[in-house]
Structure 1
Amino acid sequence: MTGTETQTERPEAYLAGIGTFLPGDPVDNATLSKVLGVNQDWVEAFIGTKTRHFAKDLSTGEVQWSLADLCARAADRAIEDSGIDPAEIEFVVMGTATPDTLMPATVNHVVDQLGLNQLPTYQLQSGCAGAVQALDLAHGFVTSGRYRTGLVLGGDVCSKHLDVHMDFSTVPPSELVNFVLFGDGAGAAVLSAEPGARRIAVHRVLNRLTGLGRAPGQVIEWFGIADRNSDKQAAKEDYKAIEESVPVMAVEILWELLGELDWSAEQLDFLLPPQLSGRMTKRIFEQLGVPGAEEVSCVAETGNNGNALPFVQLERLAARIAPGQRALGVAVESSKWIKGGFALEMV
């Protein structure tokens, strides 16, 4: 490049539309406590989550929505919110920890429900950071100029691990807590090279594995035909490690993003903290130490629905943010200690 040449400015990516879908009516702690036979006061004190949504009927165990159903409904709402023609979507990328099947990938069932075809699809197998990983991939596609418009999806159906007919008195506490902590849901965003009506620019996306040499904080087993009747616990967490590590990692993510953008904490108008549970999220937000930023959280009302959470936060943010305001989202995945985050500004 000669001295007279100027480098082409890298394209920006924008959240042009956002949509979410939570199945059924909210299930409160009193209702869930009766099903599980646990103390309601313990749920409210230890977890701090008031309600959650399930894709199955708790009284019968009947599955009413698949993950693909939830994601397709969220996608419809995001596309409608963006005002684009669905035919303009050039790629779809999805993050989930609970796919409907290993094959076909759930993202392809979603695309089929949307009536789309002849476009690349991607599915990322990941927990709480999966939505950010999907956003990272889509952000790279748009800012590189490879595509102009894409659809980002995230969702989980955690109730697939909940058998309402089981004897919960025999379930160990380390497994029982999952049934009060988690919920189901899906979210979607249209990412575009054009500002659209939302005019929310995605300036940075952080996506980094940091768990070298560390034991997983969360494990979800996959059972094949040979071991599906085994006694292995389907989902388990190291809550002590999670409670110790996630707040520390959240602070590191916050300051790393601020440093990359040359933003000060005082310039933040909104902060989207990790959504573990009502109690843990409150603790993490306080530890982040940005009192001038407004908290945007949802987990106390939605339950921990995994990859849907960032989209629910984004939907709530979009209703509050004004031109010139900035927001920063933080996500931590404890399965193998992944740092995730994103920085937004309404232009």
Structure 2
Amino acid sequence: MRPVKIASTGAHLPGEPLSNADLERLCGPLPPDILEGIQVQTRHWMVDPETGEHRETNSEMATAAGRQALERAGVDASEVDLLIISTASPDFPLPPMATLVQDALGLRRCTSLEVRSGCAGAVEALDIARSYIERGSHSTALVIGSEAISPLLVPVFQDVEPEKIRMRDRIGLYTFGDGAGAILLQAADPSETRGVIAASSACVGGGQKPGMQIVGGGTHMSLRRQFAAKRPVDLRVDVSASATQTPAVIAEALTDLLEAGGLQASDVAACILPEGNAGYLTDELAEAGIDMTHWDGLAGRVMENLSEVGATGSAAVPLALDHAWATGRLSPGDLVMLLAIETSKWKFAGMILPWTVAA
């Protein structure tokens, strides 16, 4: 099998940063301890928070991130023969958003796939892309994670007095952001790189209630009943379950991934895990009574940018990876672990591979 390499990354964040002070004016404050737990300082929304109008679409964000990845690598869009998008918030149910991005990039023909998922989706898409390249059927894959969550957030506070907004609804407003991140994969010569060393993914929430749901716009009940609801499309987050169950999912994901690669945590130079401050996570894992061996081995190597962009679903891992590269925290040859945790139905997806992009 041919090995794959990361040729470049790209990112796109819509609009100007929206601060916690901005949100306090729009929807009221959060208690300091809750705000500290969320850890988000700024986020970007594709929706104008003042008017509720969309300034761009999800597919446009994805296209912008993809174009940046191509430009950085000096690769023409016509060379892309595989395009995979991950999102939980597409422009339309059909056609797949991947085909809209394909059009925007000017590609008449390419293999175009879409993964419908949240945080874990981009790494799942990356695993699919590398299998196409490894088997020799494709050579250049553009993988994009893109999410537009603000259209579900603005109706919570629009035309509502801040003091009338429930605290549990405010938490979501402060937590989430929009954005897109792209990763460009190419076939490589075996002398260049080892390629993907390990990958692992699973849904470990069998028999459990979802930790996050977007309800509405689907086929779970008649459209007439959906339109009669206070919010025809509603984002529902079980904050308590997310806090208590996420550490266990992280521990299981980390163990599975390292075992798949026959590695120790200390072998990894960088862990891209967009779940917040690593010290905060350490406390949560310890309180959950989880074996800390692998986690302790990653001390000082966890990289994320949650405080700057918020929780961005499918975009989280590629945005954090792009941030780590752009800030000079990755060097060619570094073993990079990508680890995505998704609370929708308690999923994870991970990958370990060498970093192959020059500074």
Aligned equivalent of 1:51, options 38, 42, 45: 42
Q: CA deviation at 1:85?
A: 2.0
The CA RMSD over aligned residues, in Å, is 2.3
2:272 matched to which residue of 1? 272
1:222 matched to which residue of 2? 216
Answer yes or no: is the 8 Å Cα contact 1:100–1:106 preserved in 2: yes
1:314 matched to which residue of 2? 321
* Pair 11,285 (structure 1): closer, same or farther in 2 beyond 3 Å: farther
Aligned counterparts of 1:59 and 1:141: Cα–Cα separation in 2: 44
- Larger mean CA deviation between 227-236 and 59-68 belongs to 227-236
Q: CA deviation at 1:203?
A: 2.5
What amino acid does structure 2 have at the position aligned with 1:253? A
Aligned counterparts of 1:330 and 1:154: Cα–Cα separation in 2: 14
Task: Output aligned runs, 1:67-216, within 5 Å.
Answer: 67-161=58-152, 162-163=154-155, 164-167=157-160, 168-194=162-188, 201-216=195-210
Aligned counterparts of 2:25 and 2:319: Cα–Cα separation in 1: 28
* Pair 108,77 (structure 1): closer, same or farther in 2 beyond 3 Å: same
Q: CA deviation at 1:317?
A: 3.1
Could you list the per-position Cα deviations for residues 269-309 of structure 1 after superposition, in whole angstroms to 9, with x for gaps in the alignment? 1112243xx46x64225642235442211110011111111
What amino acid does structure 2 have at the position aligned with 1:62? E
Could you list the per-position Cα deviations for residues 41-94 of structure 1 after superposition, in whole angstroms to 9, with x for gaps in the alignment? 466323111100010222222210100110010000011122222111111111
Q: Given the alignment of the two structures, is residue 65 of structure 1 paired with residue 56 of structure 2, yes or no?
A: yes
- Give the TM-score, by structure 2 length: 0.86
Q: Alignment length, in residue pairs?
A: 334
Aligned counterparts of 1:48 and 1:98: Cα–Cα separation in 2: 24
Aligned counterparts of 1:16 and 1:195: Cα–Cα separation in 2: 13
Aligned counterparts of 1:31 and 1:136: Cα–Cα separation in 2: 38
Unmatched segments (≥5 aa) in structure 2: 286-294
2:281 matched to which residue of 1? 284
Aligned counterparts of 1:157 and 1:329: Cα–Cα separation in 2: 22
Answer yes or no: is the 8 Å Cα contact 2:271–2:298 preserved in 1: no
Q: CA deviation at 1:115?
A: 0.8
What amino acid does structure 2 have at the position aligned with 1:302? V
Answer yes or no: is the 8 Å Cα contact 2:341–2:348 preserved in 1: yes
Aligned counterparts of 1:246 and 1:126: Cα–Cα separation in 2: 17
Q: CA deviation at 1:179?
A: 0.9
Could you list the per-position Cα deviations for residues 322-344 of structure 1 after superposition, in whole angstroms to 9, with x for gaps in the alignment? 23321212111111111211112
Answer yes or no: is the 8 Å Cα contact 2:182–2:318 preserved in 1: yes
Answer yes or no: is the 8 Å Cα contact 1:135–1:205 preserved in 2: no
What amino acid does structure 2 have at the position aligned with 1:160? P
Aligned counterparts of 1:137 and 1:63: Cα–Cα separation in 2: 32
Aligned counterparts of 2:178 and 2:270: Cα–Cα separation in 1: 25
Q: CA deviation at 1:207?
A: 2.0
Answer yes or no: is the 8 Å Cα contact 1:108–1:121 preserved in 2: yes
SS in 2 for 1:327: strand
SS in 1 for 2:227: coil
Q: CA deviation at 1:176?
A: 2.5
Aligned counterparts of 1:274 and 1:183: Cα–Cα separation in 2: 13
Aligned counterparts of 1:291 and 1:85: Cα–Cα separation in 2: 37
1:252 matched to which residue of 2? 252
What amino acid does structure 2 have at the position aligned with 1:51? T
Aligned counterparts of 2:26 and 2:96: Cα–Cα separation in 1: 32
SS in 1 for 2:200: strand
1:338 matched to which residue of 2? 347
SS in 2 for 1:202: coil
What amino acid does structure 1 have at the position aligned with 2:352? A
* Percentage identity across paired residues of the two chains: 28
2:292 matched to which residue of 1? none
Aligned counterparts of 2:37 and 2:282: Cα–Cα separation in 1: 17
1:3 matched to which residue of 2? none
Aligned counterparts of 2:90 and 2:168: Cα–Cα separation in 1: 23
- Larger mean CA deviation between 149-158 and 244-253 belongs to 244-253
Could you list the per-position Cα deviations for residues 142-187 of structure 1 after superposition, in whole angstroms to 9, with x for gaps in the alignment? 1122211111111101001122523154443333311110000001
2:308 matched to which residue of 1? 301
What amino acid does structure 2 have at the position aligned with 1:189? I
Aligned counterparts of 2:317 and 2:202: Cα–Cα separation in 1: 17
Answer yes or no: is the 8 Å Cα contact 2:2–2:189 preserved in 1: no
Could you list the per-position Cα deviations for residues 114-137 of structure 1 after superposition, in whole angstroms to 9, with x for gaps in the alignment? 111111211111111111111121
Aligned counterparts of 2:177 and 2:121: Cα–Cα separation in 1: 16
What amino acid does structure 1 have at the position aligned with 2:227? R
What amino acid does structure 1 have at the position aligned with 2:311? N
